[in-house]
Amino acid sequence: MPTYPILIVGAGAAGLMAARTLTQAGQHVIVLEARNRPGGRIHTFTAAGFTGPTESGAEFLHGDVALSQALLREAGIRTHDPEGSNYEVAGGSAQVAEGFFVEDMPLLLEKLYALEHDVPLAEFLAQQFPDEQHQKLRDTVTRFAEGYDAADARRASAFALREEWSGNGAEDSPRPEGGYGQLIEWLVQEIKAAGGELHYSTTVQEVRWQAGYVEVRCQGGRSFQAAQAMLTLPLGVLQAEEGTPGYVRFTPELPAYRAAATALGVGPVVKFLLEFQDAFWQAPSAEVGQPMPEMGFLFSDAAVPTWWSQLPATRPLLTGWVAGPAAAALRETSDADLLTLALDSLAYLFGSTTEFLRQQLRAHRIVNWGADPFARGAYTYATVGAAAAHQVLNQSVEDTLFFAGEGVYEGAHIGTVEAALVSGETAAKKLLGQ
């Protein structure tokens, strides 16, 4: 009787962490990845015009992320904290931002903690802050949930946001020096050194299974057999409807798992990476009427509302961010139109012109994660009823199919690289019977 390897579908952080855990336990592992590279929604690149490693996906470590920090230490990768001042722009006027993101934060938390049953954020705000005097609070809280959590306020869990906003460490967001890509490359080398195989440009189309046997069929007619398989598909891919790009068929189908995936929220994000000839925003000039010296982060009412610099690095790269329903509305927008949207936003924010900024631009890349068929969104957010959905996704299918990924993870780090790493390690140990 043949001995089959363990198959892992997806070479993102969860898949690689699972593969490392399994190969180091002596298992023969084959990882199948649709992209032509590892990392999934982590991708550090250096392309023409960009002067250094640039993050098209995950960029920061959010809060107390023990496993991420341990792996970075083991890989010899240092981290550094962002620096600089935070600015706000509203109605065209800039000021240095101070304190809580909501003036009435104590009242907001008090009302959240008085909730007996979880409700969507939008419903909570409409019930608890219905009057005109709280319009700014409703707008600010909604904008924060949409921008930071990439959430739709009509679905996002008030309970989950309560925990997030009560917690400490959210502002402690260092970056890995040289980018997250180094961690991905280190994990790949660890897997290969322990005998694991990775196959890129291998798009899984169907997972046929019965207890104790799996056949994974890929585009182009190739297939792989295994006794067990771990699926680290992004939640957005599990949510995809038949006939849409990225869809993976299960035979027999797994309706409870599909329903659980659909019950969770996946937030779209458009990330704008714009590198200029110099940091024009640092000082006033004939072309820049509203400079922002030492700008770290910028929050605004522009079409592309959130921006950050690379401080303490002096590299003249600005990263723009649109998330949640606003990003969903841009899913079909061309890169050329998205670039214009970004430059128009910066012209408004810095008191400049789109023409000047276009002349200053030396390199750009726009990453529309919601439109990516192998991601179909950037990261997960908790919805009302998320606990029940996670309970389903964290169960194996007859000890044959296992699920892992940041969307499967349940805990304080939902939607992060830490969530993916922890989920991959946990699922691998479960598969090993630990």
Residue 164 has a pLDDT of: 85
So what's the pLDDT on residue 105?
82
DSSP per residue, 366-390: EEEGGG-TTTSSSEEE-BTTHHHHH
pLDDT(400) > 90: yes
Give the integer Cα–Cα distance in Å for 299 and 156. 21
Find the mean pLDDT for residues 389-409: 97
Instruction: Say yes or no to pLDDT of 170 above 60.
Output: no
pLDDT of residue 111: 93
Q: Which residues contact 193 (CB under 8 A, 6 or more apart)?
A: none
3-state secondary structure of 22: helix
Residue range 251-287, pLDDT digits in tens: 999 999 999 999 999 999 999 999 999 999 999 999 9
Q: Does domain 83-172+269-376 have CATH number 3.30.1340.30?
A: no
**pLDDT 10s digits, 35-72:** 999 999 999 999 989 999 999 999 999 888 999 999 99
Query: What's the average model confidence in pLDDT over 207-229?
Result: 97
Strand, helix or coil for residue 201: coil
Phi, psi (5° rounding) for residue 4? Answer: -95, 150
Annotated binding site for FAD: which residue ranges? 33-34, 204
Residue 425 pLDDT > 60? yes
Q: What is the pLDDT of residue 148?
A: 87
- Taking the C-alpha atoms of residue 365 and residue 176, their distance in angstroms, rounded to an integer, is 21
Of the pLDDT bands very low, low, confident and very high (cuts 50, 70, 90), residue 2 is low
Helix (H, G, I), strand (E, B) or coil at 96: strand
pTM for the full model? 0.95
pLDDT bin (cut points 50, 70, 90) of residue 169 is: very low
Q: Which of 214, 215, 234 is nearest to 398 (CA)?
A: 214
Domain 6-42+178-264+380-431 in this protein, CATH class: alpha beta
Q: Report whether pLDDT(100) > 80.
A: no
What pLDDT score does 345 carry?
A: 98
What pLDDT sits at residue 98?
A: 73
β-sheet with 317-323: strand ranges across = 93-96, 85-90, 295-300, 306-308, 317-323, 269-276, 361-368
Residue 188 has pLDDT above 50, yes or no: yes
When pLDDT is cut at 50, 70 and 90, the band that residue 122 belongs to is very high
Note the residue count of the chain. Answer: 434
Binding positions:
33-34, 204
Average pLDDT over residues 112-138: 93
Percent above pLDDT 90 for the chain: 86
- For residues 395 and 403, what is the distance between their CA atoms, to the nearest angstrom? 8
Q: Is the pLDDT of residue 226 over 70?
A: yes
pLDDT at 99: 57
Angle at 404 between CA 15 and CA 375, to 5 degrees: 70
Q: How confident is the model at residue 171 (pLDDT cuts 50, 70, 90)?
A: low
φ, ψ of residue 248 to 5 degrees: the values are -120, 125
Location of each CATH 3.50.50.60 domain in the chain: 6-42+178-264+380-431
Asked whether the beta carbons of 57 and 41 are under 8 A apart, the reply is: yes
The residue-averaged pLDDT of 144-170 equals 85
For the chain, percent of residues with pLDDT exceeding 70: 97
Token pair 């798009």 is found at 203
Beta strands in 60-154 (DSSP E): 79-80, 85-90, 93-96
pLDDT score at 168: 46
Task: Considering the chain, tell me which residue range(s) the CATH 3.90.660.10 domain(s) occupy.
Answer: 83-172+269-376
Show the tokens assigned to 80: 């550094």
| Res. 1: pLDDT tops 80 | no
Beta strand 317-323 pairing with 401-403? unpaired
Beta bridge partners of 305: none
